[in-house]
Structure 1
Amino acid sequence: MTPEELAERHPRLFHVTEPGAHEGIRRHGLLSTRALLDRFETPAAERERLLTTRRPEAVPLHHPEHGTAVLNDNLPLSEKALRTCLDDGLTPADWLGILNGKVFFWADEAGLQRLLGARMNRGRQREVLVFDTRRLAEAHIDSLCLSPINSGATLRRAARRGLATFSRAKDYRYPQWRKLRGRSDRILEVTVDHAVPQAADFLLDVRLAP
Structure 2
Amino acid sequence: MKKWLFLLLVVGLLVSCGQQEDEASSNEQVNTESDEKVMEETSADSELEAEVSEEKDASEVIVEENDQEEESTESSEETEPEETQIQETTLEPQVNEQEIDIDFIKKEIKIGMTEQEIKELIGEPSKKGTDAMNAEPLWLYNIRDIKDYYFEQPEGFEEYGIVDAVDTEGLQNNEVEILLFISWKEDRTDYISAAYTNDEGEIKNYRLFEDGTVKES
Tell me whether the two structures share a fold, i.e. TM-score over 0.5. no
| More relative contact order, 1 or 2 (CA 8 Å, 6+ apart) | 1
More helix by share: 2
- Give the TM bin, normalised by the shorter chain: under 0.3
Q: Give TM-score, length-normalised by structure 1.
A: 0.26
